[in-house]
């Protein structure tokens, strides 16, 4: 038996040698401590999960389906349910364009692996979901970061000017609803112009719609995929509307992509119908999703409104924030010069309150959002949200003093 | 809405453009038709799954664990169960060296992604699990294929001579028990020499032990990982001993690899404790695995013996086969000149019997095993195995005539 391995002797590819324990992972240890008032993570509310319905579905699947635990082909009826769900988002697609994944994250990962050559460029917003940057890291993809505004979203003039300069990114990654971290829904004209740019410049868009079914206003726009089926690659998920630990999501793509996705998924974790896909199928068959979504939207709307009112009450002058029509997040901008990364340690120490610093969403650790923070409203009950924001207000008042 | 996408217009990386619908997928359609006597696939016996125990575990998890469906950190108690399981395989390791994966396939995939640079060489046997070759494809890894013998396993003189010639593969992939497709268990001296070569030449070994707990003889050897903890990267799975659709496996690696695995897993499908990991944990806590393994080995031993007897009775002279002490497979070699790929269509047509042709296990489609076939004995009940082999015998008799 040889002695304990010295990290410098590990047989690693160069990019993997440079990996450091994630700063966010490190932060999470503090944020998730008992007693912390956390507005930090993008967690759905566990107390709203349809646990009883899931338990019934699991019991039914195991009692009635002999092959429920065996390797088996993709669940055609679940793809048909996804088609019906997509229709409610205003998207027309066929089951042959739907591919089931291990959550939205796998959808993005598999698409990037098929579309991206190492070192190639990718276009993204300069405030972007950190998990998508993780997808790009092993490819050492060149980031073409375009500005994004907390109210109007991705800067389409900037997108156009990058494309007009001759850049041909492998794809653009964006979210048109429930934007993470901005909590933004893109205006109709912006959606149309973005899709037109994609078409004109033959640039694929990976549209991350993980939060798209969580909308809180009367007027809901269809995602980009409703405007184009050739250039928009749609990524959806049951994680935020049913439960994340089931690990089921889907993509909607041109049909000739599907066997390619099956091949890379097979090499990743075997493309087999999983037990949790069967549970979700049984739950959907029971017809309970629609009522569940209504309750979820109602409760999250209440929590959003509670958060927005509390921000009015407790945040100092000079702070501004988004008023999201969808998703789970509010983006707060403090006056320039504030450093929310440095402030987090004090917030935890003095008031046991947590948020995610804007820097966590910067492109390759960029500091342009260093004066911002992302607040989540889905995971805390209303009373706790108020308490958390009052605490945050006290920390910010101190920081200015 | 744009019109249907032309495949040649898909925005694909060059390697993904070359992907064709998998020949095996195509074959599967024929093999899995109702009424076919299939010895083809590596499926465990669904009727032996501990379905009742799983149903109880699932109900318990949902009733008792509020966060069962939520994102949450890795399940430390499940890693401790894996340590105890590994001890039964003769391997000493710590929970800090265990990383939970979405089945063995993901374990191999994540390890390859961390260890392999595009275009680098990898050493493997010239009869090898096709799912591992799929892992290598996107890297366009150069294959250093060494001969392997159905009785004695990987040709260690060849391994040594490749290494002595100056080649430095990113790793060697192998299976020391329940070899897929050969059904072979490596002798003690071969294990020792292989590990010594790895140490001497500082070459990591990825040891795929997906079938390691399925052994049928009194004498069971520990896997390579028991001989070296620095150079052997061990991959294990609950798929063959509990159920594949739960998608839970693990790797045992040097501790500094674990946060790197967490990072690539997070970018792949989020590194969260899954519902099915919790079900397995509850099942293991109930103490039922040991009895289940005893029954599984008993039944699979019976099926193996049935298959071996039937081969004696029905296979023509000149055919030879392995007598596996572990795993799910028997490897049959027909006299050179036979073409089992061509023969499969006739076997299906004339006798509705299926196997996997040796070519499916060749390195990059190589034909050196074109006269061989892999037979599975775990998935069919004994009477059906006898019938299937009688059918296969008739097909082979015709082929000779």
**Cβ(A166)–Cβ(A143) under 8 Å?**
no
Residue B280 lies in a domain: no
Contact B51 A72 (CB under 8 A): no
Is residue B5 within 8 angstroms of chain A, CB to CB?
yes
The total domain count for chain A is 2
Mean pLDDT of the region A324-335: 97
Q: Mean pLDDT for each 10-residue chunk of chain B (401 residues)? A: 64 87 73 90 96 97 95 96 98 98 98 93 96 90 96 97 97 98 97 98 98 96 98 98 98 96 95 97 97 98 98 96 97 95 94 95 87 97 97 91 57
- C-alpha dist (Å) from residue A238 to A105, A130, A343: 12, 20, 34
B345 and B388 belong to one structural domain: yes
CA-CA distance, B80 to A361, in Å (whole number)?
A: 35
Residue B1 lies in a domain: no
Q: Which of A1, A11, A14 sits opposite B229 (nearest CB)?
A: A1
> For residue A274, which residues of chain B lie inside 8 Å, CB to CB?
245-247, 276
B210 and B328 belong to one structural domain: no
> For residue B63, which residues of chain A lie inside 8 Å, CB to CB?
55
Q: How far is it between the farthest Cα atoms of chain B?
A: 67
Residue A63 lies in a domain: no
User: Among the three residues A242, A271, A300, which one is the final residue of a domain in this structure?
Assistant: A271
Residue A134 lies in a domain: yes
Q: Which of B9, B69, B118 sits opposite A245 (nearest CB)?
A: B69
A38 and A80 belong to one structural domain: no
DSSP tag of B126: S
For residue B123 the two structure tokens come to: 């050493």
pLDDT, residue B4, reads 57
A181-239: per-residue pLDDT in tens?
Answer: 999 999 999 999 999 999 999 999 999 999 999 999 999 999 999 999 999 999 999 99
Contact A260 B16 (CB under 8 A): yes
> Which residues of B128-231 form beta strands (DSSP E)?
142-146, 148-149, 153-154, 172-174, 205-208
Write out residues 58-87 of A within 8 Å (CB-CB) of B. Answer: 58-59, 62-63, 66-73
Least CA distance to A203: which residue of chain B? B11
CA-CA distance, A212 to A115, in Å (whole number)?
A: 24
Give the range of the structural domain holding residue B342, as residue numbers without chain letter. Answer: 20-49+291-400
Q: What is the CATH number of the domain that holds A81?
A: 3.40.640.10
- C-alpha dist (Å) from residue B292 to A211, B52, B295: 42, 12, 5
Mean pLDDT of the region A116-127: 94
B41 and B78 belong to one structural domain: no
Give pairs for A153-158: CB < 8 Å, separation 24+.
A153/A125, A153/A179, A153/A182, A153/A184, A153/A186, A153/A187, A153/A190, A154/A125, A154/A186, A154/A190, A154/A194, A156/A190, A156/A193, A156/A194, A156/A197
Q: Which of B13, B69, B247 sits opposite A51 (nearest CB)?
A: B69
Distance from CA of A245 to the nearest CA of B (A): 5
CA-CA distance, A347 to B342, in Å (whole number)?
A: 70
pLDDT, residue B3, reads 47
User: Among the three residues A211, A239, A271, which one is the final residue of a domain in this structure?
Assistant: A271
Is residue A165 within 8 angstroms of chain B, CB to CB?
no
A313 and A355 belong to one structural domain: yes
Residue A55 pLDDT level (bands cut at 50, 70, 90): very high
Residue B112 lies in a domain: yes
Is residue B91 within 8 angstroms of chain A, CB to CB?
no
Residue B170 lies in a domain: yes
A34 and A144 belong to one structural domain: no
Is residue B355 within 8 angstroms of chain A, CB to CB?
no
Q: Which of A11, A63, A243 sits opposite B204 (nearest CB)?
A: A11
Residue B161 lies in a domain: yes
Tell me, what's the ipTM? 0.95
| pTM reported for the whole predicted model | 0.96
A261 and A337 belong to one structural domain: no
Residue A69 lies in a domain: no
A78 and A198 belong to one structural domain: yes
């Amino acid at each position: 038996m040889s002695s304990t391995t010295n990290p410098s002797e590990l047989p690693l590819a160069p990019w993997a040698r440079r990996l450091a324990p994630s700063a966010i992972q490190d932060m999470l240890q503090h944020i998730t401590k008992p007693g912390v008032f956390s507005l930090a993570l993008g967690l759905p509310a566990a107390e709203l999960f349809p646990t009883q319905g899931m338990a019934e579905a699991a019991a039914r699947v195991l009692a009635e389906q002999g092959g429920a635990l065996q390797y088996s082909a993709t669940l055609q009826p679940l793809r048909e349910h996804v088609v019906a769900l997509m229709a409610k988002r205003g998207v027309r697609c066929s089951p042959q364009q739907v591919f089931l994944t291990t959550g939205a994250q796998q959808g993005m990962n598999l698409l990037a692996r098929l579309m991206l050559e190492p070192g190639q460029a990718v276009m993204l917003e300069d405030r972007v979901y950190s998990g998508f940057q993780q997808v790009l890291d092993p490819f050492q993809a060149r980031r073409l970061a375009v500005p994004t505004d907390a109210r109007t979203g991705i800067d389409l003039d900037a997108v156009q000017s990058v494309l007009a300069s001759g850049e041909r990114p492998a794809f653009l990654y964006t979210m048109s609803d429930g934007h993470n971290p901005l909590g933004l829904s893109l205006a109709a004209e912006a959606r149309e112009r973005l899709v037109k740019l994609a078409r004109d410049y033959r640039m694929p868009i990976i549209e991350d719609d993980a939060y798209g079914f969580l909308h809180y206003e009367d007027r809901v726009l269809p995602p980009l995929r409703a405007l184009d089926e050739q250039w928009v690659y749609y990524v959806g998920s049951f994680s935020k509307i049913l439960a994340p630990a089931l690990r089921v999501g889907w993509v909607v793509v041109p049909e000739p992509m599907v066997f390619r996705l099956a091949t890379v998924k097979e090499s990743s974790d075997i493309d087999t119908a999983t037990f949790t896909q069967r549970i979700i199928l049984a739950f959907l068959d029971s017809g309970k999703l629609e009522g569940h979504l209504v309750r979820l939207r109602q409760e999250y709307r209440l929590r959003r409104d509670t958060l927005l009112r509390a921000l009015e009450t407790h945040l100092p002058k000079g702070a501004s924030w988004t008023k999201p029509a969808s998703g789970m997040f509010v983006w707060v901008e403090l006056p320039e010069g504030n450093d929310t990364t440095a402030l987090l340690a004090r917030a935890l120490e003095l008031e046991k309150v947590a948020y995610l610093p804007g820097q966590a969403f910067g492109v390759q650790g960029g500091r342009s959002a260093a004066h911002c923070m992302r607040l989540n409203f889905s995971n805390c009950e209303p009373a706790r949200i108020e308490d958390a924001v009052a605490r945050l207000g006290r920390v910010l008042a101190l920081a200015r003093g």
